């Protein structure tokens, strides 16, 4: 890619990555160190952190405070909520989702990782993989995060020796092989002292891989996109100001996958109406083509009834509308999920009433396998069958993360009670 050799930020594109680690693994310190050593911390913010560190009696500049924004987090020294941070280097733009690592915050972890291109998991060099670390890697796999980076932190506390690092690498290889991860990079770091975070450390001369920042700048995500199967969820219908301009109605949204060009034949689902693309454009004007994940407006030929929540697809690869789903869900509320539960299912801009027919299993993080279960508790990950009051159009999540995801909402309270990923859509 051109930007790897000094190209512009526009060429570099955006990398969304989620960070997660168990309590005291040093995740917030790692992010703070990354921003500090890359000289991306404003002077006034650094001064505030220095003052806060002195007030807490830390005895050093506590870089974790750059990301632990909630008062409760600062007082307890842990990350509770998902905090998003934006930064840019001369080679790339980034959005970090700093997610909590404790089991009780699995739902927050799922939220942060759901849109990530890459997941950064921290492991303590002294202890290796705990069940929590396995949970973190498993959640990343379940959410279809294509790239995994494991930072073996606190290498200073094991004397920067190679043996603990190699042992943890073997544990990670075993877990990732079972979960099907194909792109895994493991980096020895000391977030406290900055080893291999931005600058290469002489204290790990045996390590020949990239630093964390150089890896984040160089990882390729263009090949992760599906440019074959057109999926354009309609998020907004832009209606003309008068009836005489009815043919100028346009549809706004973000391309979930595929390429869209004027003249392309398309089908609108779930109605099944077929037509042709008249134009594709943005606020800068019309385009010869658009591709995922661009946000565009589309005009169609003829009088086609298209509503918010509909899906514009390539007729040759269009999914069939489904009334029943098999899905993996993360349960996000205190009241357990059991068969018979009724909710509102929201998929993008589409909404439909739904009932849980069966809870098939819950994920056993010790064995990384599905174990039989008839209910799911708060923060459980499990597999369920769902019956819908009306058909929706979706893909298996492994094929399309946008059209394969949904949430379940309690209609009485309006609370989101589950995040779901379609395993199979039954026609």
Q: What is the pLDDT of residues 128-159, one digit of tens each?
A: 888 778 888 888 888 889 999 999 999 999 99
| Alpha carbon of residue 103 to chain centroid | 18
* 417, 354 Cβ separation under 8 angstroms: no
d(C-alpha 45, C-alpha 50), whole Å: 9
Q: What is the pLDDT of residue 104?
A: 56
Q: What is the pLDDT of residue 9?
A: 38
What is the pLDDT of the chain when averaged over all its residues? 85
Is 165 found in the same domain as 89?
A: yes
Of 107-121, 169-183, 350-364, 408-422, least confident by mean pLDDT is 107-121
Any idea what the CATH number is for the domain that residue 8 is in?
3.40.50.300
Residue at which a domain ends, from 264, 289, 313: 313
Residue at which a domain ends, from 313, 331, 347: 313
Number of domains composing the chain: 3
Which one is predicted more confidently, 4 or 409?
409
Is 122 found in the same domain as 211?
A: yes
Is 257 found in the same domain as 147?
A: no
Q: Kindly indicate the confidence band of residue 49, based on its pLDDT and cuts at 50, 70 and 90.
A: confident
Of 80-94, 338-352, 395-409, least confident by mean pLDDT is 80-94
Q: What is the pLDDT of residue 361?
A: 95
Residue at which a domain ends, from 191, 224, 257: 224
Is 305 found in the same domain as 284?
A: yes
Is 253 found in the same domain as 193?
A: no
pLDDT at 5 over 70: no
Of 78-92, 107-121, 194-208, 269-283, least confident by mean pLDDT is 78-92
Is 240 found in the same domain as 212?
A: no
* 406, 331 Cβ separation under 8 angstroms: no
Any idea what the CATH number is for the domain that residue 241 is in?
2.40.30.10
Which residue's structure tokens are 């993008």?
348
Tokens encoding 411: 């209609």
pLDDT at 342 over 60: yes
Mean pLDDT of all residues in 81-98: 82
Is 96 found in the same domain as 58?
A: yes
Question: By C-alpha distance, which of 62, 78, 137 is closest to 365?
Answer: 137
Please state the pTM of the whole predicted model. 0.81
Is 120 found in the same domain as 250?
A: no
pLDDT at 369 over 90: no
d(C-alpha 295, C-alpha 281), whole Å: 9
Q: What is the pLDDT of residue 223?
A: 73
pLDDT at 101 over 90: no
Is 119 found in the same domain as 16?
A: yes
What's the domain range around 287? Answer: 231-313
Dihedral angle of Cα 273, 278, 281, 285, to the nearest 10 degrees: -160
d(C-alpha 211, C-alpha 137), whole Å: 20
Is 418 found in the same domain as 380?
A: yes
Q: Convert 247-286 into a string of H (helix), E (strand) and C (coil).
A: HHCEEEEECCECEECCCCEEEEECCCEEEEEEEEEECCEE
pLDDT at 7 over 90: no
Is 198 found in the same domain as 269?
A: no
Q: What is the pLDDT of residue 298?
A: 96
| Alpha carbon of residue 87 to chain centroid | 17
Q: What is the pLDDT of residue 105?
A: 54
Q: What is the pLDDT of residue 315?
A: 94
Q: Kindly indicate the confidence band of residue 27, based on its pLDDT and cuts at 50, 70 and 90.
A: confident
Is 397 found in the same domain as 284?
A: no
Q: What is the pLDDT of residue 107?
A: 66
* 125, 104 Cβ separation under 8 angstroms: no
């Amino acid at each position: 890619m051109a930007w790897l050799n000094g190209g512009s930020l526009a060429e570099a594109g955006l990398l969304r990555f989620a960070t997660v680690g168990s309590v005291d693994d040093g995740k917030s310190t790692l992010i703070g160190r990354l921003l500090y050593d890359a000289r991306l911390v404003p002077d006034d913010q650094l001064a505030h952190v220095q003052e806060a560190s002195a007030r807490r009696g830390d005895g050093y500049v506590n870089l974790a405070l750059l990301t632990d924004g909630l008062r409760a987090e600062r007082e307890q020294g842990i990350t509770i909520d998902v905090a998003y941070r934006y930064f840019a280097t001369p080679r790339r733009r980034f959005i970090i989702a700093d997610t909590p690592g404790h089991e009780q915050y699995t739902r927050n972890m799922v939220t942060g990782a759901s849109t990530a291109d890459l997941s950064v998991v921290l492991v303590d060099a002294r202890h290796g993989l705990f069940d929590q670390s396995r949970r973190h890697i498993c959640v990343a796999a379940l959410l279809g995060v294509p790239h995994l980076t494991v930072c073996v932190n606190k290498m200073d506390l094991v004397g920067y020796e190679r043996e603990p690092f190699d042992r943890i690498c073997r544990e990670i290889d075993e877990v990732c092989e079972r979960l099907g991860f194909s792109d895994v990079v493991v980096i020895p770091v000391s977030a406290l002292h900055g080893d291999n975070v931005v600058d290469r450390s002489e204290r790990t001369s045996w390590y020949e891989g990239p630093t964390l920042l150089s890896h984040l700048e160089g990882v390729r995500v263009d090949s992760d996109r599906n440019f074959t199967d057109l999926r354009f969820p309609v998020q907004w219908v832009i209606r003309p100001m008068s009836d005489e301009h009815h043919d100028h109605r346009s549809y706004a949204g973000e391309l979930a996958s595929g390429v869209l060009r004027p003249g392309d034949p398309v089908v609108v689902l779930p109605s099944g109406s077929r037509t042709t693309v008249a134009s594709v454009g943005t606020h800068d004007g019309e385009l010869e083509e658009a591709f995922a994940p661009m946000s565009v407006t589309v005009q169609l030929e003829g009088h086609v009834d298209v509503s918010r929540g509909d899906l514009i697809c390539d007729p040759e690869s269009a999914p069939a509308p489904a009334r029943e789903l098999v899905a993996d869900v993360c349960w996000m509320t205190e009241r357990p999920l059991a068969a018979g539960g009724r909710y509102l299912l929201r998929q993008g801009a589409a909404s439909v009433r739904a009932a849980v027919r069966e809870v098939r299993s819950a994920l056993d993080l010790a064995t990384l396998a599905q174990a039989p279960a008839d209910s799911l508790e708060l923060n459980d990950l499990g597999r369920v069958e769902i019956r819908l009051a009306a058909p929706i159009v979706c893909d298996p999540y492994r094929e399309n993360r946008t059209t394969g995801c949904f949430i379940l909402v309690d209609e009485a309270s309006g609370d989101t009670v589950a995040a779901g990923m379609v395993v199979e859509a039954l026609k």
